[in-house]
Structure 1
Amino acid sequence: MSTPQGGSSGGKVRGWCPDAWRPMMAGDGLLVRVKPRLGRLTPAQAVGLGEAAVAHGSGSLDVTRRANLQIRGVTEAAWPDLLDRLLALGLVDADGGREGRRNILVSPDWKPGDDTHRIAAALHDRLGELPALPGKVGFVIDAGAEPALSAESGDFRIERGSEGVLLLRAEGRAVGVPLGHGAEVEALIDLAHWFAKSGGAAAGRMGRHAAPLPDWARGSVQPAQPKAAPAPGQRELGTAYGLPFGRLKAPTLIQLAQTPGITGIRTTPWRILLTEGGMPGQLDGLSLDPNEPLLRVDACPGMPECPQSSVETRMLARRLAPHVVGRLHVSGCAKGCAHSGVADVVLTGRRGAYDLSLGQRAGAPPLRAGLDIDSLIAHFGAV
């Protein structure tokens, strides 16, 4: 087995996302990303994943904005054994090329046999028909009566239209084209091939690709009005647990999977874990409080876990969260990995200090620059 790509990358900025076959080096070791099929873990998979994270990593996992799970703190020596365990659990494709294409974000409230389940499963089975695509390019399958993923990034989308039909919509385009039942996956594959042939790799993402869409992919139907993301608490499917910063300890995942009545665990892009069945219970690191201030905070791992960061992030975020109105984003650098959108209050690390912006993205021109932690605590009255 070859050395993992990124295993000795140091502080280089990568233009791709890690996966299990291509882990990426961070400040605390390799990041090994797991992409659960349909965003769902069986209890046995969840227990096995947690045990593998303890045996071969630091025992910490991250739930990402693409509803994937990242095992942290893996050494290059431990990576081959970890990969073997993930393959045995059915969490990784045995073909590294197919695994790299498995960038499918699925609305987490799907039910067996509904449109979201049907389309996502069919796309998964036809991944081998996709062209070579930039590493961050992905698909969104959001075919419920009310879209749930409208605010989430995805290059090629199937979603419900305002007239009740299913739409194919390219990221960056406000409207989509209606599709007949069963034509959705073919349309996604065709659009991906058009993207590759029309120079999309140079742009990197569909939203930045300025080429006019082919006639067959142009439409005028608006997406349906989206619904709000689930808050922690009891839901129709089971229980929604909030994950501050998206960080999950492996023993907690194991304990959750072994809770009586739970038949599955679904990942989401909102730092929420959603169980199938089971009764709500208090678990270490999980929140059932919809008003938990930390669930309004985006903060990357920061220094020392990320070599790109020059500042600490999460301890500061915990101090400030109760004193900030709206959404707080603490980013270790200008990349804004934890949150690519606008936040009410943004702190961006730069040369060991923090830049403060309001209503901006990470890295935006600051309102105040070069602040230290004491200055920020005083500014927000968090003494």
Structure 2
Amino acid sequence: MSGFVVKGWCPDAWRPMMAGDGLLVRVRPVLARLTGPQVEGLCAAAIRHGNGQIDLTARANLQLRGVAYAGWPTLIEELQALGLVDADPVREGRGAILVNPDWCEGDDTHAIAEELRARLAELPELPGKVGFVVDAGPAPMLTHAPGDFRITRAATGELLLRADGRASGVAVTRFTAVDALIRLAHWFVESGGCTAGRMARHDAALPGWANGDIVPAAPVVPLQPGTHPIGAVYGLPFGRIDAASLATFDCAVRLTPWRLMIAEGVAPAPAIGMLLSDSPILHVDACVGAPACPQASVETRDLAARLAPSIEGRLHVSGCAKGCARARAADWVLTGREGAFDLARHARAGAAPLHTGLSPERAVALLGAC
């Protein structure tokens, strides 16, 4: 596959990325949580400086879409005032910390993530897509979420530091976990990991102190839309939410890597553009597609929504071979190429196809949709 550009970095607030609908500005709320005033302020800024469309990413970040160059400096000032963007661009770039969304104040996940945030300056210069996972609840919840350095619960009940791509790791405590993680990050750089770009692709042998045989505990099933002990869980089709709809929540919200959002302290109630029960559309991955993405040659989400009710397993509809919406293989994947689709099975976007040059109608016919 060809016809797309690999950027090699992820956008953030200080390094926005140009898309087909304007600048894409990524916001990383602390511990993936926004207070009520932050929700209100963020939504107002998204409407004032962008097109009002917000994406929830696989790293539990928010992306404001359609931002104009002229409005971007003011947007950054407003986000800083809300406590949603760090004044230091370097520190902002290092803050890719994904946390178990069920954390409670003072628990292991909260304590470790807060310490890591306070010590970001001690990290080496890492590739732009490298991230950290703090998943220290009673059982792992973020096993399949993206991350390179993972602190999680071990099968023995203790805490575990594990390099992504390795099946096991070494025991740590809430008081030693960040020290060990920072040490491992320095080893990654010193051993040539920046060339590989990600820990899972770095084939150097781990140092002896980090090469343990402790395995993670069995993962728990991720959240589902509906009632939750913290409040209400809402499903966001394709991870998209309209700022005007989000602004109707006058409570704190927590973000997840599964296109789900937790509204704290509220009972489930209907909300425009959001789902309170499981739906086939929540099990389909589709990027924004054309025309919002300049690298996509096909529209994606209308087709994905049309196919969702009839697909068994996971469907991925990608506007190009980059596969931004899903890094892992799907049961079925449609990849856009020169205005048509290629269809592959048990594959990632851009894989060798079973069928090529498909129109949306032909793709629907092949996949058995109505």
Note whether the superposition's TM-score is higher than 0.5: yes
CA contact (8 A) 2:111 2:174 kept: no
- 1:287 and 2:275 aligned: yes
* SS of alignment partner, residue 118 of structure 1: helix
1:268 aligned to which of 256, 270, 282: 256
Partner of 1:129: 122
Mark the runs of 5 or more structure 1 residues left unpaired by the alignment.
1-10
Task: Tell me which residue corresponds to 1:147.
Answer: 140
Q: In the alignment, which of 171, 189, 198 is matched to residue 182 of structure 2?
A: 189
Aligned length in residues? 367
What's the secondary structure of 2:186's corresponding residue? helix
8 Å Cα contact 2:284-2:314 kept in structure 1? yes
Equivalent position to 1:158, from 151, 164, 187: 151
The aligned counterpart of 1:74 is 67
Out of 277, 286, 298, the residue aligned to residue 265 of structure 2 is 277
Alignment match of 1:21 (pick from 14, 20, 29):
14
Counterpart of 2:320 in structure 1 is 333
What one-letter code is carried by the residue in structure 2 that aligns with 1:324? I
Where structure 2 has 5 or more consecutive residues not aligned to the other structure, the ranges are: none
**How far has the Cα of 1:114 moved from its partner?**
0.3
Residue 288 of structure 2 is matched in structure 1 by: 301
Report how far residue 378 of structure 1 moved. 2.1
The equivalent of 1:90 in structure 2 is: 83
CA drift of 1:296 comes to 0.8
Per the alignment, residue 300 of structure 2 pairs with 313
Q: For residues 71 and 205 of structure 1, what CA distance do their matches in structure 2 show?
A: 26
CA distance in 1, matches of 2:310, 2:192: 47
- Match of residue 51, structure 2, among 52, 58, 66: 58
Aligned twin of 1:353: 340
1:376, CA displacement in angstroms? 1.5
Offset, 1:319: 1.0
Q: CA deviation at 1:374?
A: 1.5
**Are 2:97 and 1:104 equivalent residues in the alignment?**
yes
The amino acid of 1:158's aligned partner reads I
Residue 175 of structure 2: SS of its match in structure 1?
coil
| CA RMSD in angstroms, aligned pairs only | 1.0
Equivalent AA in structure 2 for residue 293 of structure 1: P
Deviation at 1:71, TM superposition (A): 0.2
In 2: Cα distance, 1:181 partner to 1:98 partner: 23
- Paired with 2:70 and 2:335, the residues of 1 have a C-alpha distance of 34
The secondary structure found in structure 2 opposite 1:192 is: helix
Find the aligned partners of 2:155 and 2:47 in 1 and give their Cα distance: 46
Provide the rounded CA distance (Å) in 1 between the counterparts of 2:350 and 2:367. 20
Give how far 1:325 is off: 1.3
Aligned-pair CA distance for 1:164:
0.4
1:171 matched to 2:164? The reply is yes
Report the CA distance between 1:382 and its aligned residue: 3.1
Q: How many percent identity over aligned positions? A: 59
- Distance in 2 (alpha carbons) for counterparts of 1:54 and 1:112: 32
Cα distance change on mapping 1:164 and 1:79 into 2, 3 Å? same
Does 1:367 find its partner at 2:354? yes
Q: Distance in 1 between matches of 2:174 and 2:102?
A: 20
Distance 1:188 1:221 in 2: 16
